[in-house]
Amino acid sequence: MEARLNMLATPVAGKLVKHFVAAGKAIEETGLPAATQELVKIRASQINGCGFCLDMHTKEAAHAGETAQRLNLIATWREAKVFTEAERAALELTEQGTRIADAAGGVPDEVWENAAKHYDEDQLTGLVGLIALINTFNRLNVIVRQPAGDYQVGMFG
C-alpha cells in the first residue's frame, strides 16, 4: 500500500507539516505530562482510525516507558483502573473534542470542568491544542491513506 500523496516530498507539503510539528513543540512546553500527551494522541487516533498515528504514538509511548497494559486499555479507559483521574479527564476531553460533530453544542461543561480540576491554564491550553493537532494529523494521514507499520521510534526527530 502506498500513500496517495507524500506529505514530506513537496515543498508545500513539507512546509505545512513543519508548521504542524512546530505547534506540537509549543504544546510540549505547556507542562502537560508527556504520558498524558501520548494517551491523548493514541485515543484520538483510535477514534479517527489513523493507523499511522497509532503505530507512531504507541511505539513512542512504549519507548518512553508506558506499560503494555495501559496501552492495551486506552480504548476502554472508562472500565480500566490503570489511569489516574487527571488522565481520565484528559481522555474524556479528547473523546468529546474528537467527536465534536456528534454532540450538538460541542464539549459539555461538565467535561471541561472536570479537566479544569486537574490541569492549570497552560496545561489546558496544551491539552486543547494537542487534541486539535492530533485530529489534524489523523485527518491528513487518513485522507492520503498513509500506511502504518514502518514507523521507527524517533524517526522524525
Closest CA to 124 of 30, 45, 26: 30
For residue 149, is it within any domain? no
Rounded distance, CA 112 to CA 29, Å?
21
For residue 3, is it within any domain? no
Q: pTM score, two decimals?
A: 0.94
Q: What is the pLDDT of residue 105?
A: 81
DSSP 8-state code for residue 5: S
For residue 92, give the C-alpha cell: 474524556
Q: What percent of the chain has pLDDT over 70?
A: 100
Per residue in 61-113, pLDDT (tens digit) is 999 999 999 999 999 999 999 999 999 999 999 999 999 988 778 899 999 99
For residue 64, is it within any domain? yes
For residue 89, is it within any domain? yes
Rounded distance, CA 157 to CA 149, Å?
18
For residue 27, is it within any domain? yes
- Which residues have C-beta within 8 Å of that of residue 90, sequence separation ≥ 6? 36, 39, 40, 115, 118, 119, 127
In terms of residue numbers, what domain contains 17? 11-144
CATH (domain of 105): 1.20.1290.10
For residue 46, is it within any domain? yes
How many domains does the structure of the chain reveal? Answer: 1
For residue 65, is it within any domain? yes
For residue 67, is it within any domain? yes
Rounded distance, CA 51 to CA 41, Å?
12
Instruction: Assess whether pLDDT exceeds 80 at residue 150.
Output: yes
Give the DSSP per-residue string, 12-73: HHHHHHHHHHHHHHHHHTT---HHHHHHHHHHHHHHHT-HHHHHHHHHHHHHTT--HHHHHH
